[in-house]
Structure 1
Amino acid sequence: MKRRKYLNTYLATWDSAYSIGHEKVDQEHKKLFEIASKAYKCQNNKAELMSIIKELIKYTKFHFSNEENYMESIGYKNVEEHKSIHKEIVNKLNQLIKKLKTSSIEENIKELSDFINTNLLQHILLVDKKVHHTMKSREDLKKHFAWKNSYEVKNEKIDNEHKELFKLAIEALNYHDKDIKKHIKITINKLYEYMKYHFENEEKYMASIEYPHLKEHIAQHKKIINEMNSFIKSIPLLTLIDFERKLIEYIDIWLIGHIIYEDRKIVNENNSY
């Protein structure tokens, strides 16, 4: 089978799936994507591109300042680590400006796309969402823990398997009037086995379409499975509250982050050809 060629640039745009559940923060994240989208459309004007990237840097700093003030106001324990990540992101944007002077517009657009798709999107899905989780009560997290249509990757088989993962996680949380330890052991094992089954199916699909990042994606799957193994081993040492929080965090942050960031790339790139 002849290998498909894939697009060199793909820019993620704002999606409700990126919401962390804080209206002001979500609006500022949306604005960042809007500015990046303007830059992405500058195919022939280097001066305009530089101006928009400077606007992106300015707004990024504004947003990070607001976000850091918010984290400090709520006593978020990982605020200093979060600030360090913000500094790294701003530094990467500053480096992008420097490269503008010597690189072609095409190269700059590619680097901007990589920045948005990797640094910004991953930061929102994996780091910012943790802040939201920290501030929510266990009851509130459980109440809103559910599959959302905005998580879809637009591949029916993959989406159905993702929904099943959520269903099994929710089943593990519904232990009322049951032998709790036995229920958790059985349901978590079902979740673990189905996750491996799903990853195997997904990897076969990627191989069938000659997905160019198959090895990297398989490595991500192994990492998620290893994290699940660590979580399972820790369960006997966890309180019921901690078990619930960690399970919801595992699915709602790490797995959903993987679905939105990694799995969508498979479908987006395959559908481009």
Structure 2
Amino acid sequence: MHTYPWQDKYNVDLAAIDLEHKNLLACVNKLITAQHMGKSAILKLADEVVLYAEFHFLSEENLMYLTHYPDLASHSELHRQLIKQLHNKRSQLDDAIENLQDFVSFLVHWFVEHTQTVDRKLSAYIRNYQPAKNSPEYAVKKLLESES
């Protein structure tokens, strides 16, 4: 298996979300790099990927909530479905570490498709979102636009 370098096409043009996406991809690459380290290490790294994905989805959903994103329910449901699938694929690693390729392929395929479709839509909405000055939503938007 080869690692997956960050590509500009993965950017959604919101610094906070792009940073989390980069971190998620780094977790996946760390897992790939450690594929020969033994089952225990692989399982721990797979757990890290799942936990980071859960954190990232919660983070995105909080942003959607704070900016009154109209597609919050459908986007969140996509996250729930993915987490369910990830937990299922992670449990398959317990039975056969040979399923690692399937786990990684699923993650990378999902990552590319999701970031380039629904996350781009979310990003465009947030970039165009105009909260009242000095509101909590205004502060959140400014934080999202900050370069990390």
> With structure 2 as the length reference, what TM-score do the two structures score?
0.79
User: What is the deviation of 1:123?
Assistant: 0.7
Q: Could you say which residue in structure 1 is the equivalent of 2:24?
A: 32
User: What is the deviation of 1:10?
Assistant: 5.1
Q: Could you say which residue in structure 2 is the equivalent of 1:116?
A: 107
Q: Which amino acid aligns with 2:76?
A: K
On the 8 A contact 1:54/1:97 being kept in 2, the answer is yes
Q: Could you say which residue in structure 2 is the equivalent of 1:86?
A: 79
Unaligned runs of 5+ in 2: 129-148
Matches within 5 A, 1:1-273: 9=1, 11-44=3-36, 45-105=38-98, 107-108=99-100, 110-137=101-128
Q: Which amino acid aligns with 2:109?
A: T
- Equivalent-residue separation in structure 1 for 2:9 and 2:86 (angstroms): 24
On the 8 A contact 2:2/2:32 being kept in 1, the answer is no
SS of structure 2 residue aligned to 1:21: coil
SS of structure 1 residue aligned to 2:95: coil
Q: Could you say which residue in structure 1 is the equivalent of 2:138?
A: none
SS of structure 2 residue aligned to 1:91: helix
User: What is the deviation of 1:11?
Assistant: 4.7
User: What is the deviation of 1:43?
Assistant: 2.5
- Equivalent-residue separation in structure 1 for 2:53 and 2:34 (angstroms): 19
User: What is the deviation of 1:89?
Assistant: 1.1
Higher relative contact order (CA 8 A, sep 6+): 2
On the 8 A contact 1:53/1:97 being kept in 2, the answer is yes
- Equivalent-residue separation in structure 2 for 1:54 and 1:97 (angstroms): 8
- Equivalent-residue separation in structure 2 for 1:49 and 1:57 (angstroms): 12
Q: Over residues 189-239 of structure 1, what are the superposed CA-to-partner deviations in whole Å (9 max), with x where a residue is unaligned?
A: xxxxxxxxxxxxxxxxxxxxxxxxxxxxxxxxxxxxxxxxxxxxxxxxxxx
On the 8 A contact 2:3/2:33 being kept in 1, the answer is no
On the 8 A contact 1:50/1:100 being kept in 2, the answer is yes
Q: Which amino acid aligns with 1:25?
A: I
% same residue: 23
Moved over 4 A (4+): none
Q: How many residues align?
A: 127
Question: In the superposition, relative to structure 1, how do residues 13 and 115 fare at CA in structure 2: closer, same or farther (>3 Å)?
Answer: farther
Instruction: Compute the RMSD of aligned alpha carbons.
Output: 1.6
Unaligned runs of 5+ in 1: 1-8, 138-273
